[in-house]
Every structure is written in C-alpha cells, then in structure tokens.
C-alpha cells in the first residue's frame, strides 16, 4: 500500500522536472563547439585546396576509414599550392569512430571536423564520402580549382602569409 | 646439447689474412681490408649511415657513421668515418653505443644535415621509408636550433623524363653519382658548385641518359631523386610488397613488386647476388603498365559468323568454338603453334604438350624473331643442356679472364649481363671483345675492344680470329673464358658453327643470351619443332617412348618427324598446307617477314589467339582467349644461365587465367588431358619428365662469302634497343622519354659516298618500303648502315622487311 504511493510519488515529482525528450528532427540539437562531426577539407582563401594528399590522416586512422591518393599538380591543372594534391580522398563513415586523430595528423590543417552529426543512411555506398562531399563550400572570393595560384608565387606565400595576402587581394 | 665453452678456449683464433680488433668491448676477428662499418654490422651493431653502400666504393661523404677509434693504445684525435676505415690489428673501436663522443658526433652531423633539409616529408615520396627520416626520429633532436632561412632551390627539376631531382632534400651522399660513374658508367649526373651551394646536377641540355637511372632513385637515402611514374602514387604503408621476377629480358632479375588495391604501383630491384646483385634496368623497373592498359582483353571473343567481327562470349562458348575449329583444322591439314618468347616455363610446357597431344604435331616454334635451322641445331644440341652448374653464369662472367661477345649488344639486350661485364672489366679481371659493327656505348663502358666486321660476316671474322687476332684466341684459351652469343646470330649464316668451332679450339664456355624472358624456358620444355621436353630429340624413338610413358599416352602416338619452324609454319599456313594456327603472344612485326605473317594469319582457316591486348594476330583470329600477365599468375622463367627463377602470384583474385590453364581446358574440350590446370601442376608434370640425354649436334654451316653490296646500296646492321616500341612498354611515356635518340649510323666515308650530311637525313629503302631518319657518323665499316630495329618511327622489319645483314638502298635527304 505504502509502496504504490511511493511509486506514484516518483511520477508526480517528475512532472515538475525539466523535460529531457529531444524534439529531433523537428528541433535540431546544437552540439558542443568541439563536437567531432563530419570531416571537411578546407580551402585556401582563393579556393585552392589545402589538402596535399600526404596520407598522414590515413596513416593516423585507427579504424582504416580514410583512403587517399596523391596527385601531381601541373601548370595546366592546379588544385593546391605546391607540387602535390589529394587526387582521391574518401572517408568511410561506417568505419570512422570520430576519434579525431586524423585532424591532429594533418600537416596543413586541411582536414577539420564540422559539427554535422547526421551521418546515417540505408546503404554502404552513400556512407563513403568522396572528395566532392567533403570539400568545404566555396565562399565569396573563392574560385573552383583547378586554377593558378592567385595569392602568391609559391606555396610558401600561402603557408607563411596566406591571410595577409588574402586581405591585400581584397578577399 | 649445448656445451658450455671451455674457459681457456675463449681466446679467438685469428686465421690467415684476418685481424683481431675490439668493437664496443667485444673481440672480433675480421678479414683484412673489411670496412669497420661492416664488421660492426656483423656484430649486430648498426652504425647510422647515408653514403655507404656495399656495392659502391667508399666515399665518406655524409660523415654520419663517425666512431671513436684507438690504434695501438693511442686514441685518434677526432672521431673517424667507419665506412672508409678498414680494420687493423689491435684496433679498439667504440660506436655510439659505448662512446658518448661518437654519439655526440653523430647527433651533430644529423643536425647539420637537417639544417638545410626542407620539412616537406608530407609531400615527399620517400616519406615513410626514408633513412634520413628514420634516423632523425631515432637519433636526432626533437627541435632545431637553426632558425634562419633554409637554403632553397627551385624544385623539382627533371634530369630526365623519368627522374626528378629535388636539390633541397639532397644530403650530398653521392650515392647516385657514384652509382652512375662506377656501376652504370653513365656519368651524366655530377656534383656541381662548392660550399653551401654544392649540389647534384646535370649538364645543360644533356639529360641523365642511362638505362639504369632508376637504381639511383632506389638507393637515394632521401627523397632527392624520385621517379615521374611513381610520383605521389602511394605511401609505403599502403603498399603490399611481393617478391617477383622480371618478365622483360632473359636475365631473370629478382624484383619487388609494390602494389595497392589491385594495381602495381612500382617495381624495385630485389637483392640476388647470384643474378642481378641489387640493380635492375629501367625497363624492368618502369615498364609494367601494359598489364593495366585500357584495351586489355578480359573476356573471350569469338568471331561472329554473320558480321565477321569479334564479339565477347562466354568461356564455354569460346572454348567449344576453338576446340571444334582446331579439331577440324587438325584433321584437315594440321595446325601450327607459335608461342612467342615471353611465356613462363609452365605455360610454354603447356603449349608444347598441347601441340603434341591435342594437335598431334611438331609444328611448334617459340622463336618469334629471325631464326635459322643452324640456330635450332645449336640450341638443341648444346644450349638446352646448360645450367648454372655446367655453363656460364653471371658469376662466371665476373671471374672470366676474357669474354667474346658475338652478335650481342649487352646493354640493349641483357642489361644486367652488361653490368657484370663492366664490373669485372673495371676491376681488370675480364678483357671484353665485342664482335660487332661500331663502338657502341657498351664497348666503351666495358673497356672493350671492338672487332668490327660487315653485318653477316661475323662468321668469317670468327673463323679468321686465329690468324688475325691470335691474342684474343689466346685469352679465350684461359680457363673460365666465355663466349656470349646473342639472338642476332640467327641472322648470320655460319655464326653458330664458327662459335662452336672457336669454343672447341679454345675451350671457352659458350652461353646463348636471348633477348626475351621466355626463350630459354621454351627451349627447355620443347616448344621447338625438333625437341620434346628435356632436350629429347623427337626423332629419337627411345626418348619419345619415355615421354609417351610419362604422359600416359598411347605408345607411338607422338609425331616422330621434326616439325616446321616459325617461317615454315607461316609459309605452310599461307599456302594452305596448314589449316589452323594457335598463336600466343606473338607480334607479327617482330618476325623476319611480317608480310608473310599477315598473309598466313589471313589465309589460315582457323586461328586461335591467346592474347593480353589487341594485336595484328587478334585482328585475324577466329577465337581470342584472354590470358594473365606476369603479375597475375605464378610460374617461373629459365634465365639465360638455365637458372630457374620462380615467382608467385602478385595480384591474386583478378580472375585472369594463365596460358597453361586455358590450354588445359581447351585440350579437355578436344578430348586430351594436359594436366596443366595450374602452373604448379604443370611444373610437377614437367619435373616428372626430367632431362633427356644429349644427342650431340652436327653444326656445319659454311660462312658465306660476302659479295659487294652494289652501287647505291649498303649492308644493314640492326638490333633492338632496350627502350623502344616493345609491346610491353606501352603506356609508359616517362620511360619512353629516356630512350636513346633514333638515328642511323654510317662511317664518315660512307656518308661522303652517299652524299649524306651530318645532322641531315638519310632514306633507307627496300622494295617493301622506305624509312627516313637523321644520320650520324660513327666508326662503322665502310658500306654499312646501322638502324635501330624497332624504335620510334623506325620499324625495320615491318617497313623494310629487312634484317641484320640485308642489302638496302641508301640515299641522302628526305624522300
């Protein structure tokens, strides 16, 4: 008799507590700022890719989720400052455990993580994100590669004075 | 049972020619003249090094291997480079393990090397397998004390179409320059400038032209030299390394094939002291994309009866059509088999057995190139029974007092043989004589003597050697002397007879060095008109019975008469004496008469082609069966020494079938059992046969008398270049760029006679066609013109229908 009253008491008490139910997907939850979400391949201010295809992310990955193949920039088709760019870049989100070691490994800060967490699908193919899916969107002032280096004469200009040169170029 | 060593016997015994020294407190006995760094290595102490390489002469360039040395109780004032110092009696050496001085010196050198080394490991091809990176991580400081600007150079520069040089990364170890100068003999790459600006470079307008340039990339201890073909393709941790054997020439070099996701990314030289030491040629290293060419045939094809075009079919259909067609052709006038020279031993064996059991014929020949009956007699009498125990070997060449090269251009035809010749000639061990037409780079680089003669007159020259060059004959009479005969000898009447006579007279050993990897193996397994496997002659009843018993076929069922050779088969097919052809990997344009080959393929009633890529053969074939390239199958090659070079499958599970499997299934359709389902099964079946007894050869072909060429005519000298239009070199633009310039060569006097200008053009023609190309003068005999056989636009056999020793018309200028 006393036990059942105690039980109802819990129900009654809960009515005055804060609701924990998420209204997902109507209301999307804002994550912590450093939440490990989907990866992004960043660009230089003129739109060239930061990725140099070095595969250090693939090397660091404990889940073997990343595949990279480098390529050779030519004068006709330039995707990144310097000699080398990431010709093929794939992340398999069925394998990725979101640990972020790839981000730490990246020598050019090309690879970072966004807060996007909606990474579910009903087939394997769509969960292997390719370079097109991962590249950061073109911001104003950016130009879709391939194109020549707009901010300097060589990669050193990009790495050492990138933001400064972008400011001067009015971007 | 282990017996504890007696306390009193721990004193090390020093044998004759050895010294005793102490390294890190451990007493060690070393042969006199051994370098300290190697002695330490034998003890298990690895002293860091960059410039030291066991096959190159010591240089002491990088200073990374510093150790503390004490001689006769007195320490040397400074740490010494252990890669240049030889051992001495009573030496006391302390490496970085026991000496803080050596350790500090090594760390100092490492810091110095890194001062100007760029931090571009992420984009460097060497990253992950870089000795500098490894040693910097193992022994270097975690941060640099150097904060000034690093010295920079424009990067990278192409020193050839294949090799790229990044001077910023270079640590000036000079491995590349020493390799080029000492091993390859192509000193196109050198140290330039002095002091901080010191750098590796090439002369202006003179690229790094060497058939061995890829080796410098492999031995570079940093990423200063990289190849255009492998540039940025992969990282060492992506790659699976499989030991393999080179499929390009008859040397059978050990290689390491690195592949990623079912695609070969690069090939590296394997380490085999008996064969290729640690070097391979650029063709073996860079020519592998033929297997992934876009036009590779992957499905069987059958010629559609209605449209007359090839259409893809199932294996079942293709095999049924092929079997029915071959059975009909066999019962009509018979079927000939042409196997080409690129097969593994197992595949060639399958062809050999297929011809005998399923087609009941001896009309089979592996020689998809100019050939002669004399050559066949020589090969089946002597060469087929040679092996590394009784014949010439690479190491035999190295210790030979003299080597006579007959119709053999080592650098172009068997580059590793060339390296051995150069190695021993450089040491002064071997005196090299080239019986050829002009002073080729190989003659110079082997410090050789040219015995020049008119093409086709090599046999006369050999017969005249005792009279005109008695010193050569005397040297060849010394024990260990060798005579190396190339495939071109088949185009010279009497050459093999003359070689055999000379060998008999002098006692020199003879080796036949073909150009293609599969020729020696095909000979051994009887892919010839006159031999069964193991060198057994088809006309020998006892030998035939032995083979019949082992194969489990009815006695007396094997054909007893020697068959036709390649030209004979083609002639018979062209005039209807043969009703069908089975062709595996033959390029008709390598044959002595490509026009005859085309006619034969077109006239033959039924043609089955086993091919990798569309060719002139598949264009006429009724059934095309796709087969596996070397990387997708296992097997073995027999190199020119007769050494078995086994290799496993590199790329598993591609579904491509080796020739032996395809033929086995085809034979089953024809109601015959080959038992060659897999290369292993074929090898086991072959092993059961063993070797037959030598029947001896009766070579007696007289050297022809040379008649003058006539006005406006010249005698053609020609041989294949290493890098040219070979069908295994497709899709390799970077490699093709390193080919030697395509020029004709004539003597100064001949040029004047025909009115040719240096730097001008010459037109060489026969009734078949004409070739125009630039001309250069060289030291050829008068009235002789040399052309590369198959390079660039120059296709001597296809265009001229001519060969070595043919008479051609020569005129100046463009026609």
pLDDT of residue B10: 60
* pLDDT, tens only, B675-687: 999 999 999 999 9
Whether B140 is covered by a domain: the verdict is: no
Mean pLDDT score across all residues of chain A: 92
Shared domain for B328 and B459, answered yes or no, is no
Separation in Å, CA A94 to CA A57, A64, A127, A129, B605 = 17, 11, 6, 10, 57
Closest alpha carbon to B763 in B737, B740, B793, B791 = B793
DSSP B263-288: EEEEEEE--BTTTTBT---HHHHH--
Q: Which H helix or E strand runs over B217?
A: helix B213-219
User: What is the average pLDDT across A53-79?
Assistant: 94
User: What is the average pLDDT across B332-357?
Assistant: 95
Q: Of B91, B112, B133, which one is at a domain's C-terminal end?
A: B112
B155 contacts in chain A (CB < 8 Å): 83
Whether B1 is covered by a domain: the verdict is: no
SS3 (DSSP) at B702? coil
DSSP B403-433: EEEES--HHHH-HHHHHHHHHHHHHTS-EEE
Whether B701 is covered by a domain: the verdict is: no
* C-alpha span between B24 and B44 (Å, rounded): 11
Judged against a pLDDT cut of 50, whether residue B622 lies above it is answered with yes
Q: How many domains does chain B have?
A: 5
User: What is the average pLDDT across B320-332?
Assistant: 96
**What residue ranges in B709-802 does DSSP mark as E strands?**
713-719, 744-746, 761-765, 770-777, 784-788, 790-791, 794-795
Shared domain for B255 and B328, answered yes or no, is no
pLDDT of residue B6: 53
User: What is the average pLDDT across B498-508?
Assistant: 94
**End-to-end C-alpha distance for chain B, whole angstroms:** 85
Shared domain for B225 and B101, answered yes or no, is no
A133 CB-near residues (< 8 Å, 6+ apart): none
Å from B120 to nearest chain A CA?
A: 10
CATH number of the domain that residue B41 is part of: 3.10.20.740
Judged against a pLDDT cut of 80, whether residue B236 lies above it is answered with yes
Q: Binding site, residues of A?
A: 51, 54, 57, 61, 96, 99, 102, 106
**% of chain B residues with pLDDT over 70:** 99
Shared domain for B595 and B735, answered yes or no, is no
Of the candidates A69, A87, A107, which has its C-beta nearest B122's C-beta? A107
CATH number of the domain that residue B478 is part of: 3.40.228.10
User: What is the average pLDDT across B709-713?
Assistant: 83
Q: Of B492, B513, B534, which one is at a domain's C-terminal end?
A: B513
Q: Which two tokens stand for residue B567?
A: 């030209």
Residues comprising chain A, all counted:
171
Judged against a pLDDT cut of 90, whether residue A2 lies above it is answered with no
Separation in Å, CA B465 to CA B458, B469, B470, B499 = 10, 5, 6, 11
Q: Which two tokens stand for residue A50?
A: 């930061």
pLDDT of residue B431: 96
* pLDDT, tens only, B388-415: 999 999 999 999 999 999 999 999 999 9
Shared domain for B638 and B739, answered yes or no, is no
pLDDT of residue B1: 46
Q: Which residue of A has its CA nearest to B231?
A: A72
Residues from A contacting B (CB-CB < 8 Å) are 52-56, 58-59, 69-72, 82-84, 87, 107-108
Domain that holds residue B186: 147-292
Closest alpha carbon to A136 in A118, A101, A110, A103 = A110
A69 contacts in chain B (CB < 8 Å): 233-234
Shared domain for B39 and B103, answered yes or no, is yes
Shared domain for B361 and B493, answered yes or no, is no
A72 contacts in chain B (CB < 8 Å): 231-232
* Across A28-42, B150-164, B290-304, least confident range: B150-164
pLDDT of residue B205: 74
With CB atoms and an 8 Å threshold, state whether B123 touches A108: no
Shared domain for B314 and B188, answered yes or no, is no
CATH number of the domain that residue B529 is part of: 3.40.50.740
Of the candidates B123, B127, B238, which has its C-beta nearest A82's C-beta? B123
Shared domain for B495 and B596, answered yes or no, is no
- Which residues are A84's β-sheet partners? A72
Whether B122 is covered by a domain: the verdict is: no
Going by pLDDT thresholds of 50, 70 and 90, the confidence category of residue B187 is confident
Going by pLDDT thresholds of 50, 70 and 90, the confidence category of residue B206 is confident
* pLDDT, tens only, B506-563: 999 999 999 999 999 999 999 999 999 999 999 999 999 999 999 999 999 999 999 9
Shared domain for B457 and B559, answered yes or no, is no
With CB atoms and an 8 Å threshold, state whether B231 touches A69: no
Å from B243 to nearest chain A CA?
A: 24
Whether B698 is covered by a domain: the verdict is: no
Examine residue A146 and say whether the peptide bond preceding it is cis (omega within 30 degrees of 0): yes
pLDDT of residue B207: 78
Q: Which two tokens stand for residue B283?
A: 């063709």
CATH number of the domain that residue B284 is part of: 3.30.70.20
Give Dmax over CA atoms of chain A in angstroms: 86
* pLDDT, tens only, B262-314: 999 999 999 999 999 999 999 999 999 999 999 999 999 999 989 999 999 99
A82 contacts in chain B (CB < 8 Å): 123
Judged against a pLDDT cut of 60, whether residue B3 lies above it is answered with no
Shared domain for B413 and B479, answered yes or no, is yes
Of the candidates B232, B235, B237, which has its C-beta nearest A71's C-beta? B232
0.90 exceeded by pTM: yes
* pLDDT, tens only, B240-270: 999 999 999 999 999 999 999 999 999 999 9
| Reported ipTM | 0.86
- For tokens 């992310």, name the residue: A57
CATH number of the domain that residue B774 is part of: 2.40.40.20
Judged against a pLDDT cut of 60, whether residue B5 lies above it is answered with no
Closest alpha carbon to B471 in B506, B497, B437, B436 = B506
Whether B446 is covered by a domain: the verdict is: yes
Q: Of B112, B130, B156, which one is at a domain's C-terminal end?
A: B112
Shared domain for B506 and B524, answered yes or no, is no
pLDDT of residue B814: 67
User: What is the average pLDDT across B493-498?
Assistant: 94
SS3 (DSSP) at B186? coil
With CB atoms and an 8 Å threshold, state whether B235 touches A59: yes
With CB atoms and an 8 Å threshold, state whether A83 touches B127: no
How far does CA B533 lie from the centroid of its chain? Answer: 25
Å from B288 to nearest chain A CA?
A: 19
Q: Which residue of A has its CA nearest to B122?
A: A54
* pLDDT, tens only, B635-651: 999 999 999 999 999 99
- Which residues are B68's β-sheet partners? B94
Of the candidates A52, A59, A72, which has its C-beta nearest B231's C-beta? A72
Q: To probe the interface with B, which of A51, A52, A54 has the most B CB atoms within 10 Å? A: A54
- For tokens 């394998």, name the residue: A95
With CB atoms and an 8 Å threshold, state whether A84 touches B238: no
Going by pLDDT thresholds of 50, 70 and 90, the confidence category of residue A171 is low
Q: Which residue of B has its CA nearest to A55?
A: B235
């Amino acid at each position: 008799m006393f036990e059942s009253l105690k039980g109802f008491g819990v129900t009654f008490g809960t009515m005055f507590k804060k609701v924990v139910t998420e209204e997902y997907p109507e209301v999307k939850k804002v994550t912590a700022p450093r939440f490990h979400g989907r990866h992004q391949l960043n660009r230089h201010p003129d739109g060239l890719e930061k990725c140099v295809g070095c595969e250090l992310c693939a090397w660091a990955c404990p889940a073997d989720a990343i595949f990279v193949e480098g390529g050779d920039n030519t004068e006709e088709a330039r995707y990144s400052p310097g000699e080398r760019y990431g010709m093929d870049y794939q992340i398999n989100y069925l394998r990725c455990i979101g640990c972020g070691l790839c981000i730490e490994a990246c020598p050019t800060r090309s690879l970072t993580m966004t807060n996007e967490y909606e990474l579910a699908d009903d087939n394997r193919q769509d969960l292997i994100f390719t370079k097109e899916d991962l590249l950061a969107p073109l911001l104003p002032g950016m130009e879709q590669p391939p194109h020549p280096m707009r901010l300097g004469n060589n990669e050193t200009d990009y790495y050492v004075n990138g933001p400064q040169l972008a400011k001067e170029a009015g971007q | 049972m282990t017996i504890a060593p007696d306390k009193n016997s721990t004193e090390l015994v020093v044998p004759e020619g050895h010294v005793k020294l102490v390294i890190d407190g451990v007493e060690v006995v070393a042969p006199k003249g051994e370098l300290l760094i190697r002695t330490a290595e034998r003890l298990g102490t690895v002293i860091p090094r960059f410039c030291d390489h066991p096959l190159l002469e010591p240089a002491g360039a990088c200073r990374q291997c510093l150790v503390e040395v004490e001689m006769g109780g007195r320490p040397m004032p400074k740490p010494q480079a252990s890669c240049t110092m030889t051992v001495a009696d009573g030496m006391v050496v302390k490496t970085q393990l026991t000496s803080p001085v050596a350790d500090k010196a090594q760390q100092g050198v490492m810091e110095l090397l890194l001062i100007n080394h760029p931090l571009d490991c992420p984009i460097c091809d060497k990253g992950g397998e870089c000795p500098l990176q490894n040693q910097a991580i193992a022994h270097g400081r975690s941060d640099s004390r150097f904060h000034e600007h690093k010295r920079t150079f424009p990067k990278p520069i192409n020193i050839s179409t294949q090799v790229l040089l990044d001077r910023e990364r270079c640590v000036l170890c000079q491995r590349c320059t020493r390799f080029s100068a000492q091993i390859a003999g192509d000193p196109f790459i050198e140290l330039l400038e002095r002091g901080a600006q010191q750098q590796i470079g090439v002369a202006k307008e003179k690229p790094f032209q060497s058939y061995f340039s890829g080796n410098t990339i492999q031995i570079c201890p940093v990423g200063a030299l990289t190849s255009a073909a492998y540039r940025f393709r992969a990282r060492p941790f992506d790659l699976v390394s499989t030991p393999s054997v080179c499929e390009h020439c008859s040397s059978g070099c050990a290689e390491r094939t690195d592949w990623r996701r079912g695609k070969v990314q690069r090939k590296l030289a394997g380490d085999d002291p008996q064969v290729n030491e640690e070097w391979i040629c650029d063709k073996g290293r860079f020519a592998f994309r033929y297997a992934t060419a876009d036009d590779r045939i992957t499905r069987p094809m059958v010629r559609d009866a209605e449209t007359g075009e090839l259409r893809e079919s199932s294996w079942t259909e293709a095999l049924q059509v092929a079997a029915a067609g071959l059975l009909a052709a066999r019962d009509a006038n018979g079927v000939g088999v042409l196997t080409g020279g690129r097969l593994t031993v197992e595949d060639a064996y399958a062809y050999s057995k297929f011809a005998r059991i399923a087609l009941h014929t001896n009309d089979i020949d592996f020689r998809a190139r100019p050939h002669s009956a004399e050559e066949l007699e020589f090969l089946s009498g002597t060469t087929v029974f040679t092996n590394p125990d009784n014949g010439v070997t690479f190491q035999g060449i190295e210790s030979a007092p003299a080597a006579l090269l007959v119709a053999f251009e080592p650098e172009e035809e068997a580059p590793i043989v060339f390296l051995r010749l150069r190695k021993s000639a450089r040491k002064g061990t071997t005196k090299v004589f080239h019986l050829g037409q002009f002073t080729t780079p190989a003659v110079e680089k082997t410090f050789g003597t040219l015995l020049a003669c008119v093409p086709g007159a090599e046999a006369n020259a050999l017969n005249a050697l005792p009279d005109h060059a008695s010193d050569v004959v005397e040297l060849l009479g010394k024990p260990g002397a060798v005579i190396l005969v190339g495939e071109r000898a088949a185009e010279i009447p009497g050459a093999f007879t003359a070689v055999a006579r000379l060998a008999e007279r002098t006692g020199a050993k003879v080796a036949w060095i073909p150009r293609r990897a599969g020729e020696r193996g095909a000979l051994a397994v009887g892919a010839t008109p006159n031999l069964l496997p193991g060198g057994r002659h088809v006309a020998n009843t006892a030998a035939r019975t032995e083979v019949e018993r082992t194969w489990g076929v009815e006695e007396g069922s094997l054909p007893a008469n020697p068959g036709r050779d390649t030209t004979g088969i083609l002639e018979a097919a062209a005039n209807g004496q043969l009703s069908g052809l089975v062709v595996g990997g033959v390029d008709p344009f390598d044959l002595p008469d490509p026009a005859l080959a085309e006619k034969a393929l077109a006239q033959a009633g039924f043609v089955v082609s086993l091919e990798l890529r569309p060719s002139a053969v598949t264009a006429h074939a009724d059934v095309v069966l796709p087969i596996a390239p070397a990387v997708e199958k296992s097997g073995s090659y027999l190199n020119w020494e007769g050494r078995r070079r086994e290799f496993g499958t590199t790329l598993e599970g591609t579904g491509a079938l080796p020739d032996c499997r395809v033929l086995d299934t085809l034979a089953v359709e024809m109601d015959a059992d080959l038992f060659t389902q897999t290369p292993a099964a074929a090898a086991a079946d072959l092993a059961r046969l063993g070797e037959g007894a030598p029947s001896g050869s009766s070579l007696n072909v007289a050297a022809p008398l040379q008649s003058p060429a006539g006005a406006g005519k010249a005698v053609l000298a020609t041989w294949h270049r290493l890098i040219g239009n070979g069908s295994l070199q497709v899709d390799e633009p970077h490699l093709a760029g390193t080919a030697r310039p395509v020029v004709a060569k004539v003597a100064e006097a001949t040029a004047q006679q025909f009115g040719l200008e240096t730097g001008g053009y010459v037109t060489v023609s026969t009734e078949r066609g004409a070739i125009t190309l630039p001309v250069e003068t060289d030291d050829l005999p008068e009235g002789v013109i040399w052309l590369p056989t198959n390079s660039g636009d120059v296709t001597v056999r296809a265009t001229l229908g001519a060969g070595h020793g043919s008479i051609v018309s020569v005129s100046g200028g463009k026609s």
